[in-house]
Amino acid sequence: MQDLKEIQTKIYPPMVEGDHTFGTVSDKIGDLALKKRTPFLWYVGFGISFLVLQLLMMSVTTLVAKGIGIWGNNQPVGWAFDIINFVWWIGIGHAGTLISAILLLLNQKWRTSINRFAEAMTLFAVACAAMFPLLHTGRPWLAAYWLFPIPNSMGIWPQFRSPLIWDVFAVSTYATISLLFWYVGLIPDFATLRDRAKNKFFKFIYAVLSWGWRGSARHWHRYEIAYLLLAGISTPLVLSVHSIVSFDFAVSQLPGWHATIFPPYFVAGAIFAGFAMVLILCIPLRVWFNMKDMITNTHLVYMGKVMLATGLIVVYGYAMEAYFAWYSASLYEWFMMKNRMFGGPYWWSYWLLIICNGASIQLLWFKRFRESPFWLFIISIVVSIGMWLERFVIIVTSLNRDFLPSSWAMYSPTVWDWSMFIGTIGLFFTLLFLFVRFLPIISIFEVRTLLPDANVHGHHQDFEENVVQVEETYDRTDPPNN
């Protein structure tokens, strides 16, 4: 009997630890948003982020006033930090969609306590990403009809055969669906907060946001359908958005960009980077907010495994890029690859990338590192840097050696390149701090469904007994708390 239980918990580790009931879950998560006193550390974190956000405001103002000449990119490196940062941010968002949509459809219970803030992370990352294509036009107020096919007095449309316009559609669809998905998931929780809020003002806000949710059976029925539909719509987006981002490069004829491996390799890279960011955020969060019982070590281990798997696909992508360059027998491709890896001025960035994305994740094969939040945190940071370097390597090393040696030139970022990039990190964390203060960072009602109370078989209230009961009655492969 005892053995069975142990095996059971080993195969299906509980996703909520401790003695929680419906009420305590609502208390614990809801109170984070509703409590009167804001913790001092929140002010510190928010204050720093907000200051860094001002760096962004300053950079954008200067950019609009003076034009994109303040950046370091110039022929032949026409794309640099603006596109590197765009791809980096948009990639980070992908973990949120994967967690919320694909893992939902695959019935993975462990998504439940991380999906809410992973989705928030997606939204904030997309907001940061979207700034770059908008601002790299230099005149963002005109970008509306440069980017979108809005009827205009010029009598022309954007070039529909260009992946750049596909990108606009992909990213704006992605942002819309992610926002809807996040919001729909929040509605029942807004209702919980509305019912619990003491402050009239917040009660009003939460009441507006919850759209009169009463939690009736009909509400839940419609909610479930809507949520499932949105998950269905989001699922192809996980694959399509970054595929299309990769087309920005792959459709061009440039050596180093023109490769068929790009879409799958970009998608894997996006999920890889996204999970790294989720880990970077949730490892401190679960400590500061005392949420270790809801974001358990098991969650971290699972995310570590996803990172290892997607990371290996990315490493395979690097290997194939080099192989294709050689196998293509194209002089230009092979020169580009040699230049990128050995001879060129940016060779160090390539090997730094291999160390960050290829070597560091090998630690995750070992249980010791996989199960240590500290090491997971370190590896995630290294991977985030690595994924940024990946875009740097792809963009800058491919462009800086043009077909014509007379056009060769070096690229180096200016102060404004850096300030804008760092500024978007400020924006990201400012939004994140606001989110953790005013919204439930974990889905209250979904975590409740993980509790034994939500899966009552017969009269057994006790989880452990329940497990045994299930064990005796059903086939072993049946998850006990399903």
Query: Footprint of other proteins on this chain (CB under 8 A)?
Result: 151-156, 194-195, 203-204, 207, 211-212, 214
Task: Using alpha carbons, list the distances in angstroms from residue 117 to 197, 222, 404, 436.
Answer: 21, 23, 48, 8
Smallest gap, in angstroms, from Cβ of residue 31 to other proteins? 18
Q: With respect to other proteins, which residue has the nearer C-beta, 206 or 411?
A: 206
Smallest gap, in angstroms, from Cβ of residue 190 to other proteins? 11
**Can you list the alpha helix ranges (DSSP code H) found in 331-395?**
331-338, 347-353, 367-370, 373-392
Smallest gap, in angstroms, from Cβ of residue 473 to other proteins? 37
Q: Position of tokens 């452990």?
A: 464
Smallest gap, in angstroms, from Cβ of residue 253 to other proteins? 19
Q: With respect to other proteins, which residue has the nearer C-beta, 196 or 338?
A: 196
Smallest gap, in angstroms, from Cβ of residue 156 to other proteins? 7
382, two tokens: 């290294």
Q: With respect to other proteins, which residue has the nearer C-beta, 213 or 435?
A: 213
State the amino acid at position 201 in one-letter form.
F
Q: Position of tokens 């997606």?
A: 122
Smallest gap, in angstroms, from Cβ of residue 155 to other proteins? 3
Phi first, then psi, for residue 457 (nearest 5°) are: -110, 120
Q: With respect to other proteins, which residue has the nearer C-beta, 191 or 276?
A: 191
Smallest gap, in angstroms, from Cβ of residue 59 to other proteins? 27
Q: With respect to other proteins, which residue has the nearer C-beta, 154 or 329?
A: 154
Residue 178 near residue 94 (C-beta atoms within 8 A): no
Q: With respect to other proteins, which residue has the nearer C-beta, 151 or 405?
A: 151
Q: With respect to other proteins, which residue has the nearer C-beta, 219 or 457?
A: 219
Q: How many CB atoms are closer than 10 A to CB 66?
A: 11
294, two tokens: 């809801």
Phi first, then psi, for residue 77 (nearest 5°) are: -90, 80
Cα angle for residues 240, 361, 379 (degrees, 5° grid) = 95
Distance CA 65, CA 400 (A): 28
Q: With respect to other proteins, which residue has the nearer C-beta, 69 or 236?
A: 69
Q: With respect to other proteins, which residue has the nearer C-beta, 194 or 258?
A: 194
Smallest gap, in angstroms, from Cβ of residue 195 to other proteins? 5
Task: Using alpha carbons, list the distances in angstroms from residue 323 to 205, 243, 316, 319, 330.
Answer: 57, 21, 10, 6, 12
Exposed e or buried b per residue across 358-375, where buried means at least 16 C-beta atoms within 10 angstroms of its C-beta: bebbebbeeeebbebbeb
Smallest gap, in angstroms, from Cβ of residue 192 to other proteins? 10
Distance CA 289, CA 351 (A): 38
Residue 30 near residue 440 (C-beta atoms within 8 A): yes
Residue 263 near residue 170 (C-beta atoms within 8 A): no
Residue 64 near residue 367 (C-beta atoms within 8 A): no
Smallest gap, in angstroms, from Cβ of residue 151 to other proteins? 6
Q: With respect to other proteins, which residue has the nearer C-beta, 4 or 144?
A: 144
